[in-house]
Each structure stands twice: as C-alpha cells, then as structure tokens.
Amino acid sequence: MNFSIFTFMPRSNILAQRIEFIKGVGEAKAKVFAAELGVRTVEDMLQVFPFRYDDRSRFGLIKDARNGDAVQLKGILISLGRVRMKRGSRLKGAFKDPSGIVELTWFQGAKWLEETLQIGTEYVLYGKVKVYQGQKTIAHPEMETLAKSQQQSAFLPVYPSTTVLDKKNVGQRSRRNIVMRIFESLTKEDFPEVLPTSIAEKLRLCHRYYAYKWIHFPENEEQRQQASNRLKFEELFFLQLRILQTKKQREQKFKGFVFEKVGDYFNRFYKEKLSFALTGAQKRVMKEIRYDLGSEVQMNRLLQGDVGSGKTIVALMSMLIALDNGYQACLLAPTEILAQQHFLSISESLKGIGVQCAFLSGSVKGKTRGQLLMMLKEGHIDILIGTHAILEDPVQFKKLGLAVTDEQHRFGVAQRAKLWTKNEHIPPHILVMTATPIPRTLAMTTYGDLDVSIIDELPPGRKPVATVHRREADRMRIIKFMKREIAKGRQIYVVYPLIEESEKLDLENLDQGYQELLNYFPLPEYQIAVVHGRMKPRDKDMEMNRFASGRAHIMVATTVIEVGVNVPNASIMIIEDASRFGLSQLHQLRGRVGRGADQSYCVLMTKAGLSQNARERIQTMCRTNDGFEIAEVDMKLRGPGDIEGTQQSGIVELKIANIVNDVQIMQTARHFAIEILNKDVDLKLPEHEILAREMNKLKSKNQS
C-alpha cells in the first residue's frame, strides 16, 4: 500500500491527518483551505463534496465553439511561447484539432507550464471559449495528456470555491489532484462502518469507502446516485438521532408539573366568555396540549398557525388550565405594542371570572414595578403578560406553571432558556407560538426537539384576503378604490420597504410616499398616521393608537407593523415596491388585514422589470393564502438558512443533504432514529456501540 503522501501518522488515524502533510498541499495552501473552507484534516477535505460534475466523456470541435461555451477538445499543442507585456509576460499557445485552431493564454505559472507542456503532444483540453475580433481564445485551460486523461473518470467533480482559493492557484484541477492522491492511500479499512448492519442492509446502502470514492469520482450516474444516497442518509440520520436523543433525555431528566384537572377558570371562560365555536384545528391542538400538561413530562411545544388562526385563544385556555391547578402563567411578546395588545384583549376576555392579570415591560418603573414584583412573588398575580422584561432576574414567580412566548423566533435561545430558571426545581411547561409558517422538513431539523402543533384552518366567517398585483400604470385605479373603501368606513395600510443599506433612504422613500398620498387624500378630510422604526416609542404608540381607534383612515408605515396592532376595521394592505420583500414578510404583512368579517384586499405594487425570483414570489402570493405552501416556496427560493427565525434556532449546516429536496431521505432517517431511541435512548446496547462512538465523535467535533 502506498503511504507516500502521508507522514508521521499511524494507519488507524489517516483521516485525522492534517492536510499540510499531503503531497502538493504544504503549509501555505493548508492555511488557505482552513481559512476559506474550514478544511484542516483529510476527512474535512473529503467532506467538501462536489456540487456538480463536468461530463468529460464527450468532445467538441473548435469550429462549433461559441463565445462563452465551456468545451472539451481533443487535439495537439502546436506552439508555446512567452509574449512580453508592459508588466511582465504571458504564456501563449496554439491548439489544433481536426476542425481548426484555438489560441491559449496563461497569465500565471508560465515557468512551470513551459517545463510541463510538450509541443506536438496530444492533449485533452477543457476551458471556456472567448471570441475577440473573430479569434477564439481559451484562458487558463485545464490540460492533460490523452494517455493520462483516459485513466480518469468521465465525470470530473467541480468543488465549491472562493476568489481567494483561485488567486492562490488552488483551482479545480489542483483540488481534484489532491483528492485523487488521498484515495491512492486509502482502503475500506480506513472507513469503519458507523451505521448498524441491519439499517445498511435494509436500505441497500453501499460501503462508506465506496460512497466517498464515488461521490468524488463516479464512473457513471449509478455510482454517483448510490454514493449520494448513502452520504445523505448518514448525515440526516445522525442529525435526527442527536435532536431526538436530546429531546428524550430531557423528558427523562426534567419532570413536568402535572395539571390533573380542568376546573372553574377554564370552564367559566369556555361557557361564559367564548363567543364563538372553536375550529376543529383548535380543538385538536388543545387536546395535544392537555395531554402534555397531564403527562408528568415538561411540555415543550411549538404552536404554528397563520395570523388570525386563533393561537392566542389556545394559549389563554392553556394558561387557565395552569391556574385551575394552582399555578401561575406568563406570556412574552417581542414588542411592547404587541404585549400591550395581548394584555388588553386577555384582560377583557377574563373580566368577571376572578383572574388577576398584570402587565410588565421596561416602561413599568418605580413603585408600580416594585409592587407588581412583590405581588407576583407572593402569588397574587395569576397571569403576567409582557416583554423581555419578564426574563430579568428580579422577576420571580411564586409558582410558574406555564410560559408562553409569541413570535418565538424573535427571542434568542439564551433568552428563552431563562424561562426554565424561573422555578427552583421543576421548569415550567413551555408553549412557543409563531405565525411564521415553518416547512415540515425545516421543523424536523430546526425545531426537531419540540413537539409541533399546527392550527391549519381559519375561524368561520373569515374570508381569505384577495391578493392582486398592480403596476405604476394602475395607480389612479388604486387611489379610487382606496377612496371607495374609506367611504364605506374601512381603513388602509400602505407599507414601504426597508432599504437596509440606508436608513436615510428609508425615510425619504416613506416621506415621499406620504407627501404623494396627501395630494390624493388632503387634510382635514382624510387623516394619515405615519409609523417608522426611527420614531420614539411614545410617538410610534401615539400614531398606532390613532389608527387603531379609527381616527386615522390610512397608516403609512415601514415593516414595523409586521408584528403590531390588531385592527379588524383595516381591510386593505397596499405594499409598495413589493418585489423588495421576501415571501415570509409579504405573508406576515398581508395577515394584518382580513381580521374582520368584511372582504379584505392586499395590493402588491411593483415597478417594471421583475426578476424571475421576484415574479415567482408575487405569483405565489396572488395564488394562495396557505402559509405553509408559501413557506415551502420561500425555502426553495432562498434556502433553509435564510428562512426567518432559523438563524437564532441553531439550524445545522448540512454538507451534502438538502432539506428542500431530500424529504424522503429525511423521513426515512427520522423513522430509524425513533425506532432505535425508543428501544435504547442512551445507546448502551452492544448493537448500538458504533452509533454511540460516532455520536461522541460528532459531538466533540462540533465543540472544537
């Protein structure tokens, strides 16, 4: 066996060998690989997988090549020499095939190329053609002798790269050669199995050695597919195993308060205060929550549902179950406006049934704050509603049984963890709510340690918001439509995008829109409220309240209203420059209307010349009101890492699997992970020894 490319390393640790010891890498290139790709070891190098392959089984002809074409040619190098330039020189060559001649140019590495390339020798050449003044040229082509190229795979890997790697002369050819040298010194023994034999056999997975070899250098499509399936399954399986093991171990470690009964608070609210029938989805979710609260296990449940689907009522009824069992509850919202709104609506809903509610935010100070904290600690406050202020250390409960967070992605992981410390021994039950629909596959990874409940139907009488796309030429039609709706007593939102590069541009954009609206809606006949992110909280609240109370007909705003006041009378949402918004934002904004019984409308205004991506976003919004369908499209367009909320949730970076495209593999991996953990949660059984070993290895790698 050839060990020449590795030094100072016993056979058993070849994959852990640092890459500077690989022939052709060295210390300088190793530093670039580490800085640019996080590659430090042989195993790291093998886990930078190709993102596509060049099919080198086919050859073109020079005469057929067009400007910009990537071509593979077979021919003879007929000349090679240096051409002097103002600064230094370049290397120039001519390459001939049966159909013509193409000029070759190199600006770097001339000395090495002159020594390596042989005039009159037959080569296989690969590169991109440029046509200048009728002359076809290829700059920096990849070249192999015909004899050597015939020994290589027909599918040549193309790896993720960076500008720095290219500048440091670590291009695709160099990368391929490094990986080839690695495989010259590896055997099956260097890739011990990490999956139980039963799983590998049941799924007919190829050996890990072949998976790695074929993913880099497949001889055909079947080999590439086998390698891809094996590596994707392995990656997703260990991801699910880790997430689900954490969840099960937490359930064993942390016992939850047992809420044995549904009592007077719940029953009186349900019979006397609930003025409408719960939807089937709300009843199903209440049943799931009720089961958790009585199970002796601490509840950690994610409640998903579109804006207006009735999540808050479900949360309130869950809090009343806590009260019925002698415990307190709290509800956290990300902004003071939203927290105030929750406080007012919940206080109103609970009037007359003896529940003591209180509000806490940073603006509650002095004696009022001191008295509130004392009453909370002594148990005289049943439900505390507020902002991040609830998480502060001086805020102590007598007996917190349930903590609810609204728009949970706006709270960091560390902030949410503080809720666990509000009781001395047993953490409270946790219910996290979001109106940002999360695609199922993303929920299995990002929120895989939470149980998920979905409210997937709107209350009866709610009409879907009618969404239309309009351009600047339609402006006067829109103005007339707005005036007709205002005459009927309706209110209107007009939202402008945030231009992230410039707050000044934001305000100019919004102010210009406000001035234009005044031309069509003059004072005092029409009243327009203005809200933007740079306003003082007091001024912002005043303007929002002016709109919420009906004193203003139109609210001109930036996206600060995405999570904001509930105004059932607002029936029109006009979104200016809608192509600048992401799908998730557009859907959230649309959710601000359609809260009353009247037909509501969302108008997406755009300028001419939409990109393909923007056009698809606009078409999706016009086609459907289904938040989950919108979330799936959003994830396909943007990728899972950019979906709102995932950044704070510890979404894992996958090396080869794709949670958009690999749903089937993900579900299969989850199935096997659940099967194993139901039998052996700590992986102590002999047949799970290899799983425990691999989990420990992955854990230490993540921590390093």
Give residue-wise pLDDT tens across range 346-385: 999 999 999 999 999 988 999 999 999 999 999 999 999 9
Supply the pLDDT for residue 512: 85
Residue 81: phi and psi, rounded to 5, are -175, 165
Chain region(s) in the chain for CATH 2.40.50.140: 58-151
Q: Tokens 């590896």: give the residue.
A: 186
Q: What is the DSSP string of 278-305?
A: PPHHHHHHHHHHHHHHTTTB--EEEEEE
Query: Could you give the CA distance from residue 300 to residue 567 in angstroms, rounded to a whole number?
Result: 31
Which residues pair with residue 357 across a beta bridge?
Answer: 383
- Is residue 647 very low, low, confident or very high in pLDDT (cuts 50, 70, 90)? very low
Tell me the pLDDT of the chain averaged across its residues: 86
Check residues 60 and 58 and name the one with the higher pLDDT: 60
Per residue in 546-601, pLDDT tens? 998 899 999 998 866 645 567 888 999 999 999 988 888 898 889 888 877 778 99
Supply the pLDDT for residue 334: 84
Query: Which pair of structure tokens corresponds to residue 615?
Result: 């056009």
The answer on pLDDT for 3 being more than 50 is no
Supply the pLDDT for residue 363: 87
Are 118 and 147 in contact by the 8 Å Cβ rule? The answer is: no
Per residue in 183-199, pLDDT tens? 988 999 999 999 999 99
Are 560 and 498 in contact by the 8 Å Cβ rule? The answer is: no
- Is residue 628 very low, low, confident or very high in pLDDT (cuts 50, 70, 90)? confident
Supply the pLDDT for residue 526: 94
Supply the pLDDT for residue 643: 45
Which residues pair with residue 83 across a beta bridge?
Answer: 90
Give the mean model confidence (pLDDT) for residues 411-416: 59
Supply the pLDDT for residue 503: 57
- Is residue 144 very low, low, confident or very high in pLDDT (cuts 50, 70, 90)? confident
**C-alpha distances out from residue 79 to 107, 138, 286, 405, Å:** 16, 14, 80, 72
**Assigned CATH class of 264-455:** alpha beta
Query: Which pair of structure tokens corresponds to residue 91?
Result: 């290397």
Are 136 and 105 in contact by the 8 Å Cβ rule? The answer is: no
Query: Could you give the CA distance from residue 340 to residue 342 in angstroms, rounded to a whole number?
Result: 5
Q: Long-range CB contacts (< 8 A, 24+ apart) of 669-677?
A: 669/233, 669/236, 669/237, 669/239, 669/240, 670/236, 670/240, 670/244, 670/444, 672/199, 672/237, 673/237, 673/240, 673/241, 673/244, 674/240, 674/244, 676/196, 676/241, 677/241, 677/244, 677/245, 677/248
Query: Could you give the CA distance from residue 670 to residue 693 in angstroms, rounded to a whole number?
Result: 19
Pick the closest to residue 170 from 45, 290, 269 (CA basis).
Answer: 45
Per residue in 249-259, pLDDT tens? 888 888 889 99
| β-pair type (70-84, 122-132) | antiparallel
DSSP code, position 613: H
Residues in the chain: 704
Supply the pLDDT for residue 331: 96
The domain made up of 58-151 is a member of CATH 2.40.50.140: yes
Check residues 6 and 477 and name the one with the higher pLDDT: 477
Supply the pLDDT for residue 502: 52
Residue 210: phi and psi, rounded to 5, are -70, -35
Query: Which pair of structure tokens corresponds to residue 556?
Result: 């001109």
Residue 580: phi and psi, rounded to 5, are -80, -10
| β-pair type (528-531, 400-405) | unpaired
Query: Could you give the CA distance from residue 565 to residue 307 in angstroms, rounded to a whole number?
Result: 12
The answer on pLDDT for 8 being more than 90 is no
Supply the pLDDT for residue 572: 94
**C-alpha distances out from residue 137 to 102, 109, 131, 280, 565, Å:** 6, 18, 6, 68, 62
Query: Could you give the CA distance from residue 461 to residue 117 in angstroms, rounded to a whole number?
Result: 78
The domain made up of 466-624 is a member of CATH 3.10.100.10: no
Supply the pLDDT for residue 309: 82
Per residue in 422-432, pLDDT tens? 877 788 999 98
Which residues pair with residue 358 across a beta bridge?
Answer: 384
Per residue in 305-335, pLDDT tens? 877 788 999 999 999 999 999 999 999 998 8
Q: What is the DSSP string of 342-394?
A: HHHHHHHHTTTTT--EEEE-TT--HHHHHHHHHHHHHT--SEEEESGGGGSTT
